[in-house]
Amino acid sequence: MARILLVEDDLTFSLILENFLKKQGYLVEVAHRVKDGLKLVKSNSFQLLLLDYRLPDGTGLELLQACQAEDTPPPVIMMTSFQDVGTAVRAMRLGAFDYITKPVNPDELLMVVQEALQEKVKPEATTSPKAAAFITGNSPIAQQLHDMITLVAPTDMSVLVQGESGTGKEYVARTIHEHSKRAQAPFIAIDCGAISGEIANSELFGHLKGAFTGAMQDKKGLFEAAQGGTLFLDEVGNLSYEIQMKLLRALQERVVQPLGSTASIPVDVRVIAATNDDLINSVKNGDFREDLYHRLNEFKLQAPALRTRGQDLFLFVDHFISQANAELDRHVQSLSPEVREIFRNYGWPGNLRELKNVVKRAVLLTPTEEIQKQALPEEMYQLATTPRPEGPDLKAMQEANERELILKTLQEVRYNKSKAARLLNIDRKTLYLKLQKYNLLE
């Protein structure tokens, strides 16, 4: 019976969740604050953590990070309000297994919990699904990306893939590998955001038995495991300075030295790295080695944000609907016209990952062939539907446009009101009044 730790400050809601999970056969411990959650994590072993994001004495991210420091961290599911989707996406970069938006739907919760418990514990190196499970897209920006991939793939250049979270950077790396001379050798992906210090060292370069407490036997590093193939370093900006040095050596001299060993092992590996933020800023701040940056950045690719991909959005929707139908045994065919409109107007700050989650949830909740707006997270359709005036009412039309523009901007900047006001070229107070007027306040 799996043990779950639930950290949620809303007492009624946590009681409902606790009872629901217990009925499903899980053992549940509950905490209402970060401090108590930390104590429980330290003194117990849990197979899963279910964390609210906003807690009275901090955020769920603190608990997530504390868990990531463990040898075998349990999977973590974050629960957030719709406005915090950006944060949830950040949590996934820090190693969370998944997120669900509130109000929590019991079927969805159960689905994610079951998936998390079946899933192997992160961090892990993955040989991710074949690129055939992916689609390219028809938008000019997607075609351009595809051309660049075709151009750089056959060379042995290191590639730096930049892009917002969830834009498919791993997909880009995988496609490069599959179009390269190395296609028959392994493609190994590792999320550097989810590993730290000694673990990163031993994951990447290996270790000898006894090199540190807990090193019970020799372990091959991922560089060796990827011999002849491609190593994908996601979130490369998170590597410590010490590991950056070792990585530079591996790239320049083509040798690695496992922890506790004096021997240098030759490696022939192409490295593709990915970053969310502008790595050049980390270089300027002294957090990332400049020499390594240039070594990784022999060729730079930009993974485009979903909101810049036009009609590709609906190609992805069809693709994710088919995937979800197969996984959940549903027969959904399409979106209702109203849902299409909501999707078109939404800013998708979490990009493809967010779209995939929203579609999967909607498919789960749709027993018929067409997804209706009720199957979307409530706040998504409440916020996204701007009523349009029927007749030639200019003032009403202007207001509808204004509401829509404010919404889009808010979504793009993940509800940061100061940033939104700046972009909209109005002051915060005016923005606030307009949010009130259009019923857009949280």
Ligand X SMILES: Nc1ncnc2c1ncn2[C@@H]1O[C@H](COP(=O)(O)OP(=O)(O)OP(=O)(O)O)[C@@H](O)[C@H]1O
What residue ranges bind ligand X (CB under 6 A)? 92-93, 134-135, 163, 165-171, 234, 274, 276, 303, 319, 352-353, 356
Distance CA 396, CA 269 (A): 60
Q: Which residues are CB-contacts of 396 (< 8 A; sequence separation ≥ 6)?
A: 389
Distance CA 304, CA 316 (A): 14
CB-CB contact of 11 with 32 (8 Å) = yes
Beta bridge partners of 187: 230
CB-CB contact of 205 with 197 (8 Å) = no
DSSP classification of residue 38: H
- Round the CA-based radius of gyration of the chain to a whole number and report it: 23
Report the nearest approach of ligand X to the CB of residue 76 (Å): 15
Closest to 164 measured CA to CA, from 413, 421, 420, 406? 413
DSSP classification of residue 328: H
Direct distance between the N- and C-terminal alpha carbons of the chain, in angstroms, rounded to an integer: 39
Report the nearest approach of ligand X to the CB of residue 278 (Å): 14
Q: Residue type at 293?
A: Y
Identify which of residues 174 and 219 has a Cβ nearer to ligand X in the complex: 174
Report the nearest approach of ligand X to the CB of residue 442 (Å): 25
Report the nearest approach of ligand X to the CB of residue 366 (Å): 20
Identify which of residues 303 and 365 has a Cβ nearer to ligand X in the complex: 303
Report the nearest approach of ligand X to the CB of residue 67 (Å): 18
Identify which of residues 169 and 182 has a Cβ nearer to ligand X in the complex: 169
Identify which of residues 177 and 219 has a Cβ nearer to ligand X in the complex: 177
CB-CB contact of 357 with 351 (8 Å) = no
Report the nearest approach of ligand X to the CB of residue 6 (Å): 25
Report the nearest approach of ligand X to the CB of residue 68 (Å): 15
Count how many residues are written for the chain: 442
Q: Where are the alpha helices (DSSP H) in 346-393?
A: 351-364, 378-384
Q: Which residues are CB-contacts of 16 (< 8 A; sequence separation ≥ 6)?
A: none
Identify which of residues 171 and 381 has a Cβ nearer to ligand X in the complex: 171
* Residue of closest CB approach to ligand X: 168
Identify which of residues 352 and 406 has a Cβ nearer to ligand X in the complex: 352
Identify which of residues 275 and 409 has a Cβ nearer to ligand X in the complex: 275
